[in-house]
Structure 1
Amino acid sequence: MVRFKSRDPLFSRPYVDVDEWRDQPVRHRYVHGGFEGTECRFSFYFPPPEHYEGRFFQPLMAVTGIETAATMPAMHGFMIPDTIPFAFESGGYLVESNQGSTTMFPPEDRTIIYRASAAVASFSRVMAAEMYGDHRPYGYIYGGSGGAYKTIACFENCPGVWDGAVPFVMGTPMSMPNNFTVMAHAIRVLKDKFPLIVDALEPGGSGDMYNGLTVEEREALAEVTRMGFPPRAWFNAERIAFGYTGVFSALIDNIVKWDPEYFKDFWNVPGYLGANPPESLKRARIQHRTKIKKVVTTDEAAKMGLKLTMPAKLADIKIPLPAALQLESVPEGNLQGATVTIMSGEAAGHVLHIAGSIKDLVFIGFGAEHFRALTKIKAGDEVQVDNAMYLAVQTYHRHQAPSPDYYVWDQFRVAGKPMYPQRPILLGPLYTWDAAGALPTGRFAGKMIVVQALMDEAAFPWQADWYRRLVQAALGPRLDDHFRLWFVDNAMHTSPVALPTDPRPVITTRVVSYIGVIEQALRDLSAWVEKGLAPPASTVYRVVDGQVEVPPTATERKGIQPVVTVKANGGERAEVAVGEPVEFSAVIEVPPGAGYVISAEWDFEGAGDFPVVENLNTPRTCVSLKRTYAFSKPGTYFPALRATSHRQGDFKARCARIQNIGRVRVVVR
C-alpha cells in the first residue's frame, strides 16, 4: 500500500480491495477500497495517462451509502449522467465516496459526512501520484439538492482539500421542512384550480393566475408564491404532489421527534389554522380503520409499472421494501400524506405515510424512523388511516420565524414581529445539520460557481440568492474573484422525462435540463483555478416578493444560458383555422463570452420529439429563424423551439451542451 498521511486520525488506514482495468463505459483503471475501522468506502476511476490533465472531479450524492453511482445509471440522482466519460473528456479522474456510511442513513456523527469525503479526496491524490507521477491534482467537488448541502459543508469545512465547488439546485438551512409544508398546503387548497392557474401563466395567457379563485385559494397561492415556489412549475402539480409527499414523509417523522407538541397545539391553540378550521380543512379530514389485503414490494411495483416514491427507489438498493399497500377498503377523500398506523402484527405501532393512491392501492413514502421495520408488514394486519398529522404540518412554516435574511418570511411579520404563535425551536437548521454535518457560513478557500434552476419546485430559486449574500458578507469586494451564480431558465429540480402516457404538451417541450450548465461550470471552474481565466459573469437578477426575475435579453441577463424568443404571427398567441399556415419567427442569443448556438429544434404539436431541426452550419452568437407550419386538427397548441449552445461552438460535442426553450400558443379553430 502506498504511504498516506491523514490529517484526520479516524481515516488514517486506507485499504484497496479492487484494483483493475475496465473497458466500460470507457477504458479506465478502477480502484475500490475504504478506511479500516470505519464505514467509509470509495471508488476511483482513473483514465489512461494520455487523457489526464492533472485534476479530479468528485460528485456528492444527496444520500449517503453509495460509492458506485457512476456505474449505476438508475442511481445518478442529482449527479450528471455519463459521469466517467465527462470527467475523462475534461482531463480528470473521478472520485466517489459513500460519505462515511454503508447505508442511506448518515453516520451518527454527522461531521463524518464531510470528513470522510475529504479523506477520500486526499487519498485519491496519493493514488494519482503513484499512477501519473509526483504532483498535486486539482480537486473539484459538486452536488445537487441534498448533495448541494454536502458540497458546501465539504468546501467550507475542509480548506485545502478541494480547489473549487459547484453546488446546484441548493436550499437554505430553512428549506426543510418549510418548502414542503407550504407546497402541501397550496396543493390541498388549490387542488381543482391548477388548470386555470397554468393557463393564465402559459404563453398567450391572461397573466392573472388569481382570476377565478376563491379568497382562500388566492391566499394560499399568494403564500406559496411569496415563499418562492415558481408559479410556472404548477403545470406539474400532480407529479410534484406524488413525488415530494414521499420525501416529505421522512421530514414529518422528524417533526414528530423534535416538536411533538405541535400536533396537539395545531388543533387546539388559537392562532393555529386547526383551532378555527376553515370548511376546506374540515372536509379534508380522514379517519378510517381497515386491513391490508396485499403488500406490494418495490420489485413488484416496478414490474407492474407503478410509480415509486424516492424513498422506495433508494430502499430498493438493499432490500425489497413495501412500495404500496392494497387495502380492504379505502375512505373517501384525498389520502395523500395520510398516516397509516399498523395496529396489529409484527410491525404494530409503526407509522407509514401515503404518497398517493389509485383505487384501493396506497403508495408509501416512508420515513427513516420506521424504515427497518417495514419488512415486518404483512397482509391481514389491521391499520388506521388518519391525515390529522399531514393537515397540521401544512402550515408549520407559519410558526417558524427565522432571522431577517430569510426575507420570504416577511409575509408573516407585522411591524417586524410574527403574526402567528411560534414554536420553541427552528427545525430547518436541524434538518440541514442532519443532512450535511454543518450549516453554511459563506466562508471558503477557493472558487465556487452556484447553479440554480428558475422553475425549481423543491429548491426555490431565491435560496441561491440567500447564499450569495452570505458569501458577499464574507468576501466583500472580493466576491467576483471567487464566486459566480448562474440561473438556468425553464429548468426544474431534475431533468425532464416525458412518459408515453403524458398529455400534450409533454414536459420536454416546457422544460430543459441544467446538466450542460453543470458540466460547463466544472470546466470553467478548473480554468479559473488553474489558469486564472475568469468565467462569464453571474446572472443579473432581482428578487421580488420571493420570485427571482431576470432580464429578457441575453446581453442584459448574462450568465451562460442562451435566451430564446419565439413569436407566432408576430405575437405570443395566434388564432387560426385548421390548415391555415402560421408564421413562426425566433431569435436565439447567447450571453457575452458564453459560446455559440449549435442546435435549434422545433416541436409544433407538443409530442416531445422535436422533428424539425434547423440546419446551422456556422457557429453564431445570435441566430434568427423563420418557419411556417399548419395544424391539421383543432385544439390549443404550444409550439416550442429548443436551442443549444456550446462554449467552443462544437456541433458534435457530447458534454456541456446548454439548452433553453421558447414557447408560444396557437389556438386552432
Structure 2
Amino acid sequence: MIRSKPVRTWLPAVVVAGTVLAVLPATTSAQSAPECAPATAGGPIWVTAECVDPDYAKPVIDNEVDLTTPITHRKVTGHFEGTDKRFAIYLPPKDQWQGRFYHSVYPLDDENVENNITGEPVLAFGAAAGAYTVQTNGGGGYRVDAAASKFAKTVAAQYYGHTGSIYGYVWGGSGGSFQTTGAMENTTGVWDGGVPFILGNPQAIPNYFFIRALGSLVLADVAPAIADAVAPGGSGDPSAGLDDAQRTVLTEMTKLGVPLRAWEDYEYLLGLGASGTPAGPAGLLGFGTQVRLMDPNYADEFWSEPGYLGTEQSPLGDLLRSKKVDREVGITQVLRDGEGTVTGVTIDDVPHNPAGTALDFTVHTAEGATGESTLNGTLDAASNSIVLADGNPPEVLAALEVGGKIRIDNRWWLALPSYPRHQVPARAGLYAFDQYRNADGTPRYPQRPMEIGPAISRSVTGGGTWNGKINGKVIAVCNLLDADAFPWDCDWYSEQVRAAGNADSFRLLYNDNADHIGARTSRLVGYFGVLQQALRDVAAWAETGRRPPKSTVYDVRDGQITVPNKAAARKGIQPVVEWEIGDNDRIEVSAGQPVDFRATIQIPPGTGQITATEWDFTGSGDFVDRPFDAKEHGTVRVGQTFAYDRPGTYFAAVRVTSQRDPNSAFERVPNLARVRVVVR
C-alpha cells in the first residue's frame, strides 16, 4: 500500500511560501545558531548539534509516503536547497522504534536505501533493531550526512511524538569507512557511535590498486601455482619455482599488505579478464587518469631517470622494458560513418602489446609534428585499425588524415604499477611502506613531487585527517582476505585511536575467510551479520554503557595479519572451526573409500551459540544443512562421512553460523574451514 502525504511544516523552522527551508534544534533560534566552522585554521569543518552548516542550511521535504514493503514504514524524502544533495528518512511504526537511528554512508550510494552498496536488507535490519534509517547521496565527506542526520532527528521527534534524546550511529565500508572515520573525528552531538568497515588508510588509493597491477604484469602466468601453494593442503611456499623478477614482486605485494591467502582468488586479485589477461585501466588502474593529471611528468622520468624500474638494471627492470610499446605508425585511411563522422583510422603497422596493457594514441599532423593531441580509442589488430571512442575533440579529429602519424605506446600503463615505490609517506606509522626505505629511514627510490593518496583520501573523508580522535563509540570491522582494503589498515587506524587516548572507546573485529565484497565464492563467508551485531553492540555501548566483546587478538608481521587458532585466544565475535586431521589440511584417499570428516567449533566467550552447520564435500558451493548437538557455551564437535566416486582433487568445507540471539533474523556470524581431499 502506498499513501502519499503533502509537504508538512516542521517546527521550529524557517518557512517561506509554505515550504520548509530550514529546521533548527528546538533550543536554537535562526538568529542565534552559530555557523559550523573549522576547529583549527585550515582544518575540516567541525559540526556540532547546535551549529548550522552554511552549505546545507535549508533542508526541504519533497514527499512523504507510507509504504508496506519491504517493511511497514514512512519514507520522507527531500533535498538541501541550492545543492544536488538529497536525503531519505525511513521511519518504522512507533511501537517498533526504540529511540535510535542508523545512517549508512558510501560515496557512490544515492539516498534510496534499496540501492545501498551492501546489497543487504538495511531497512529491515534497522527496524528490527529499533532504529529508523537515514541515507543521502552525499558523495565525499560527512557534512551533508551530518546535516541530514540532524534534520532527521527533528522529523522523527515530531513523527513519534518524542521529546527526549535520539541516539544515532553512522556506518560505512570501503570509501564509506573514510566517511565514517571523518564523521566520528569531526562531529559531536550528531552521532553517538560508528561502525567503519573494510577500512582503508590515507595511502591506500591509488597505491593498492597499482601494486596489484604490478602483480598482474609479472605474476599472471604463475598465479595458479601461487594459489595452489596458499590453498588448504598446499605447500605453503608461494615463492617456490618463481624467478627473481617474480619473487621480487610477490615479496613487494606481500609486504605492502596483499593477503597471501587472497591469491586463491587470483583472477580477482590481479584483475584478470576471462581470457586470463590483465583487465587494464578499467579494472585495477581506475585511478591512472587521475595520477596522470596530478603528476604529468612521471612517465617521462620513469623511462629516463635513475631509480625507476624503467631504467633499473635488474631482472624486473629488464622484464618491464621487454613489454614496452612505443612506435609511430602511419594513417592509411580515415574511416567515416554514413553521416561523414570520423569513426576510426586504418594504420600501416600494428604493434604487438606483450603486456596486454592499455595503449595511448598521440596524433601528429601530416605536415609534421607541429603539435600533438591525445586520441581516445582502442586498437583493433584484426583490422589494422584504431576504433575511436566518443568524445574526441573536433581539433583532434581534424588532425586525422592520410599520411599523418600516430604514436602508439604503453609507457604510462607500464610505469604506473610501481608508483607505490615513489610514494613513501611522510607521515610516520604507515609501516607497510617501510620496505621502500633505507636503513636510515630515507626513501630508497626517487619520490614524486606530491603524495597522491592523502589528497584523494581527504576528498573522500571531507578533509578528515585520520587522527584517531573519535567522538563516541566505534567498532571497526575488517576482513583477513581483503585484497582491496588490506587488513593492516585496520591495525594502523587502531594505533591512531590508541595514540589519541581513545582506546577505551574502540573495538576492532577481524573476520577470517571474508574479503571486501562478500560471499561471492564458496571459499568465502559474508560479513554483514558481523556488521549488524557491531551496530547493535555500539548502540548498547553508547546508550547503556554495556561494553561489547573484546577486540580480535592478532599479530602483524611484514604487512600480514594473523590470528590465533583458538577462539578463546582470538576473541572477537566470529566462531572458529578446526579440522581434526592434523596440521596440513590435506586428506588422501582412494575412490569409493569413505572419509570421516571431523571438526571442532569454538565460540569466543560471551558471543552466543552455534545455530547452523552446513557441509559441502566437493567444493561446488552447494552447502547442505546438517544437524548437530547445540551447546550454548564451550566446544561443539561435528562430523560427517562421505565417499568420492571418482579421482580428483576436491576442497571439502564446513560452514558454521553463530548468533547472540538465535531467534533473530539478523546478526548471523559465519565462518568456515576447508580441507583438500586428493582422491586417487
TM-score normalised by the shorter chain: which range applies? 0.7 to 0.9
For residue 461 of structure 1, what is the aligned residue in structure 2?
Answer: 487
d(CA) in 2 for partners of 1:326, 1:95: 51
For residue 415 of structure 2, what is the aligned residue in structure 1?
Answer: 392
The answer (yes or no) to whether the contact 2:258–2:483 under 8 Å persists in 1 is yes
The answer (yes or no) to whether the contact 2:612–2:625 under 8 Å persists in 1 is no
Q: 1:397 to 1:485 in 2, by over 3 A?
A: same
d(CA) in 2 for partners of 1:154, 1:352: 39
Does 2:432 align with 1:419? no
Q: Secondary structure at the match of 1:51?
A: coil
For residue 194 of structure 1, what is the aligned residue in structure 2?
Answer: 223
For residue 605 of structure 2, what is the aligned residue in structure 1?
Answer: 592
For residue 675 of structure 2, what is the aligned residue in structure 1?
Answer: 664
Does 2:54 align with 1:31? no
Q: 1:385 to 1:625 in 2, by over 3 A?
A: farther
d(CA) in 2 for partners of 1:512, 1:457: 15
Does 2:122 align with 1:83? yes
* Aligned residues: CA RMSD: 3.4
The answer (yes or no) to whether the contact 1:631–1:668 under 8 Å persists in 2 is yes
For residue 539 of structure 2, what is the aligned residue in structure 1?
Answer: 526
For residue 145 of structure 1, what is the aligned residue in structure 2?
Answer: 174
- Equivalent of residue 611 in structure 1, options 620, 624, 627: 624
Q: Secondary structure at the match of 2:292?
A: helix
Please list, as runs of the form range in 1=range in 2, the aligned pairs for 1:362-511 lying within 5 A after superposition.
386-402=409-425, 403-415=427-439, 416-438=441-463, 439-475=465-501, 478-480=502-504, 482-497=505-520, 507-508=521-522, 510-511=523-524
The answer (yes or no) to whether the contact 1:643–1:660 under 8 Å persists in 2 is yes
> 1:373 Cα deviation (Å)?
7.5
Q: Secondary structure at the match of 2:134?
A: strand
- Equivalent of residue 287 in structure 2, options 236, 241, 251: 251
For residue 338 of structure 1, what is the aligned residue in structure 2?
Answer: 358
Please list, as runs of the form range in 1=range in 2, the aligned pairs for 1:98-247 lying within 5 A after superposition.
98-99=137-138, 113-133=141-161, 134-242=163-271, 245-246=281-282
Does 2:670 align with 1:647? no
d(CA) in 1 for partners of 2:674, 2:132: 39
Q: Which segment is superposed worse, 87-96 or 187-196?
A: 187-196
d(CA) in 1 for partners of 2:380, 2:614: 38
For residue 15 of structure 1, what is the aligned residue in structure 2?
Answer: 60
Q: Which segment is superposed worse, 178-187 or 260-269?
A: 178-187
The answer (yes or no) to whether the contact 1:524–1:535 under 8 Å persists in 2 is yes
For residue 57 of structure 1, what is the aligned residue in structure 2?
Answer: 102
> 1:263 Cα deviation (Å)?
1.0
Tell me which amino acid in the other structure corresponds to 1:535: P
d(CA) in 1 for partners of 2:407, 2:351: 11
Q: Secondary structure at the match of 1:253?
A: helix
Tell me which amino acid in the other structure corresponds to 2:305: V
Q: Secondary structure at the match of 2:188?
A: coil
Please list, as runs of the form range in 1=range in 2, the aligned pairs for 1:623-634 lying within 5 A after superposition.
623-634=636-647
Q: Which segment is superposed worse, 274-283 or 550-559?
A: 274-283
> 1:611 Cα deviation (Å)?
2.4
Q: Secondary structure at the match of 1:664?
A: strand
> 1:655 Cα deviation (Å)?
1.2
d(CA) in 2 for partners of 1:245, 1:583: 48
- Equivalent of residue 92 in structure 1, options 126, 131, 137: 131
The answer (yes or no) to whether the contact 1:642–1:662 under 8 Å persists in 2 is yes
Q: Secondary structure at the match of 1:487?
A: strand
Q: CA-to-partner distance for each residue in 1:256-286, whole Å, 9 max, x for gaps?
A: 1211111111000011000136332133223
Tell me which amino acid in the other structure corresponds to 2:417: Q
The answer (yes or no) to whether the contact 2:614–2:656 under 8 Å persists in 1 is yes
The answer (yes or no) to whether the contact 1:21–1:29 under 8 Å persists in 2 is yes
d(CA) in 1 for partners of 2:130, 2:508: 24
> 1:339 Cα deviation (Å)?
3.9
> 1:622 Cα deviation (Å)?
2.4
The answer (yes or no) to whether the contact 1:568–1:665 under 8 Å persists in 2 is no
The answer (yes or no) to whether the contact 2:202–2:453 under 8 Å persists in 1 is yes
The answer (yes or no) to whether the contact 2:220–2:270 under 8 Å persists in 1 is no
For residue 86 of structure 2, what is the aligned residue in structure 1?
Answer: 41
The answer (yes or no) to whether the contact 1:336–1:357 under 8 Å persists in 2 is no
For residue 48 of structure 2, what is the aligned residue in structure 1?
Answer: none
The answer (yes or no) to whether the contact 2:217–2:355 under 8 Å persists in 1 is no
The answer (yes or no) to whether the contact 1:595–1:621 under 8 Å persists in 2 is no
Q: TM-score, normalised by structure 1?
A: 0.83
The answer (yes or no) to whether the contact 1:578–1:632 under 8 Å persists in 2 is yes
Tell me which amino acid in the other structure corresponds to 1:461: P
The answer (yes or no) to whether the contact 1:637–1:666 under 8 Å persists in 2 is yes
d(CA) in 1 for partners of 2:438, 2:203: 20
The answer (yes or no) to whether the contact 1:587–1:624 under 8 Å persists in 2 is yes
> 1:434 Cα deviation (Å)?
2.1
> 1:371 Cα deviation (Å)?
10
The answer (yes or no) to whether the contact 1:16–1:31 under 8 Å persists in 2 is yes
Q: 1:372 to 1:230 in 2, by over 3 A?
A: farther
Greater helix content: 1
d(CA) in 2 for partners of 1:570, 1:387: 47
d(CA) in 2 for partners of 1:56, 1:459: 27
Q: 1:327 to 1:34 in 2, by over 3 A?
A: farther
Please list, as runs of the form range in 1=range in 2, the aligned pairs for 1:540-555 lying within 5 A after superposition.
540-555=553-568
- Equivalent of residue 67 in structure 1, options 108, 111, 117: 111
d(CA) in 2 for partners of 1:167, 1:426: 24
- Could you tell me the percent identity over the aligned residues? 38
The answer (yes or no) to whether the contact 1:598–1:619 under 8 Å persists in 2 is no
Q: Which segment is superposed worse, 271-280 or 219-228?
A: 271-280
Q: 1:283 to 1:459 in 2, by over 3 A?
A: same
Q: CA-to-partner distance for each residue in 1:563-605, whole Å, 9 max, x for gaps?
A: 0112458962111111011111101111111111111111010
The answer (yes or no) to whether the contact 1:187–1:237 under 8 Å persists in 2 is no
Q: Secondary structure at the match of 1:96?
A: strand
For residue 302 of structure 1, what is the aligned residue in structure 2?
Answer: none
Q: 1:459 to 1:352 in 2, by over 3 A?
A: farther
Larger Rg belongs to: 2
d(CA) in 1 for partners of 2:436, 2:221: 26
d(CA) in 2 for partners of 1:449, 1:467: 12
Unaligned runs of 5+ in 2: 1-8, 14-22, 25-50, 272-278, 338-343, 365-371
> 1:198 Cα deviation (Å)?
1.4
d(CA) in 1 for partners of 2:500, 2:561: 23
> 1:18 Cα deviation (Å)?
1.3
Q: 1:555 to 1:353 in 2, by over 3 A?
A: farther
Q: 1:489 to 1:372 in 2, by over 3 A?
A: farther
For residue 325 of structure 2, what is the aligned residue in structure 1?
Answer: 286
d(CA) in 2 for partners of 1:446, 1:293: 62
Unaligned runs of 5+ in 1: 107-112, 296-324, 365-369, 498-506
For residue 299 of structure 2, what is the aligned residue in structure 1?
Answer: 263
Q: TM-score, normalised by structure 2?
A: 0.81
The answer (yes or no) to whether the contact 2:105–2:135 under 8 Å persists in 1 is yes
Q: Secondary structure at the match of 2:55?
A: helix
Tell me which amino acid in the other structure corresponds to 2:266: A
> 1:493 Cα deviation (Å)?
0.7
> 1:615 Cα deviation (Å)?
4.0
Q: 1:358 to 1:225 in 2, by over 3 A?
A: farther
Q: Secondary structure at the match of 1:548?
A: strand
